């Protein structure tokens, strides 16, 4: 192998090693952040209870409640929808005609993207839920998946508003699906952190404790 080829192979090896090292570092950082989020969630009954809403998982529940804060600052669900930026936009042309813009770059894009992912998950479940059926019917009527997903995301956010406001939401996970969400949270925590937080020695014990904490949230809404 000539010197030029040898130098090129060395450069490729070094570049790939650095690239994969960065990927491994990002993976470990993501795991650490997930554990921190899960630890905070485990002590917040309302965050745990929010995961009962369809399409709202660990990260979504944590982010939504962190951003919303006191839900009473949004007198109606439409106020919260507008704050996040999931309400369809509209502008007026020079001739006075109203032009629908759809969901644009207004509001909290970070939360909006999480809700869009949640809405996609509801659609992927197909017709297993009433909300999923509604989404597919809208998709069939409009012929545009993005329109249906954005509309589903709005409905998910409205469900969260009702839950935080003490009103019973209608788009809820089945008991089995909610238990699975709690189980995943306990796995993310890991055994040492579960022990530190006194959440039980086993996954099933931890899941039972977390489930019991969701019942506490029913009396904490405004």
216 lies in some domain: yes
| 20/208: higher pLDDT | 208
Domain range enclosing 63: 53-171
- If asked whether residues 62 and 163 sit together in one domain, one would say yes
How many separate domains does the chain show?
A: 2
86 lies in some domain: yes
Of 210, 202, 154, 155, residue with least CA distance to 182: 210
pLDDT digits (tens, 9 = 90+) for 128-179: 889 999 999 999 998 889 899 999 999 999 999 999 998 888 888 889 999 9
pLDDT band at 220 (very low <50, low <70, confident <90, very high): low
- If asked whether residues 117 and 195 sit together in one domain, one would say no
Of 54, 62, 30, 70, residue with least CA distance to 165: 70
Q: Percent of the chain beyond pLDDT 90?
A: 60
Q: Percent of the chain beyond pLDDT 70?
A: 86
Average confidence score pLDDT of the chain: 86
Q: Which of 171, 186, 205 is the last residue of a domain?
A: 171
pLDDT digits (tens, 9 = 90+) for 24-80: 899 999 999 999 999 999 999 999 999 999 999 999 999 999 999 999 999 999 999
What Cα–Cα distance (Å) separates residue 88 from each residue in 6, 59, 144, 203, 213? 58, 25, 15, 43, 37
**Residue bearing tokens 């019991």:** 212
- If asked whether residues 150 and 99 sit together in one domain, one would say yes
- If asked whether residues 86 and 179 sit together in one domain, one would say no
91 lies in some domain: yes
3-state secondary structure of 85: coil
165 contacts 221 by C-beta, under 8 angstroms: yes
What is the per-residue pLDDT for 107? Answer: 80
Q: Which phi and psi angles does 101 have, rounded to 5°?
A: -105, -10
Q: Which of 155, 171, 187 is the last residue of a domain?
A: 171
> What one-character DSSP code corresponds to residue 91?
E
């Amino acid at each position: 192998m000539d010197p030029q080829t040898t130098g090129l192979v060395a450069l490729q090896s070094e570049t790939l090693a650095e690239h994969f090292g960065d990927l491994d570092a990002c993976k470990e950082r993501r795991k650490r952040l997930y554990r921190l989020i899960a630890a905070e969630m485990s002590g917040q009954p309302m965050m745990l209870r929010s995961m009962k809403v369809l399409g709202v998982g660990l990260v979504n529940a944590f982010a939504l409640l962190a951003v919303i804060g006191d839900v009473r600052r949004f007198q109606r669900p439409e106020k919260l929808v507008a704050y996040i930026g999931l309400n369809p936009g509209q502008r007026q042309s020079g001739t006075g005609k109203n032009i629908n813009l759809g969901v644009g770059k207004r509001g909290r894009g970070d939360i909006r993207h999480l809700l869009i992912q949640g809405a996609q998950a509801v659609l992927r479940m197909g017709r297993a839920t009433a909300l999923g059926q509604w989404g597919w019917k809208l998709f069939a009527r409009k012929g545009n998946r993005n329109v249906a997903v954005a509309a589903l995301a709005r409905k998910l956010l409205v469900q969260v508003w009702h839950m935080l406001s003490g009103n019973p939401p209608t788009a809820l996970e089945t008991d089995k699906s909610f238990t699975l969400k709690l189980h995943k949270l306990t796995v993310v925590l890991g055994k040492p952190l579960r022990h530190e937080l006194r959440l039980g020695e086993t996954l099933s014990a931890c899941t039972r404790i977390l489930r019991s904490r969701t019942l506490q949230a029913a009396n904490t809404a405004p």
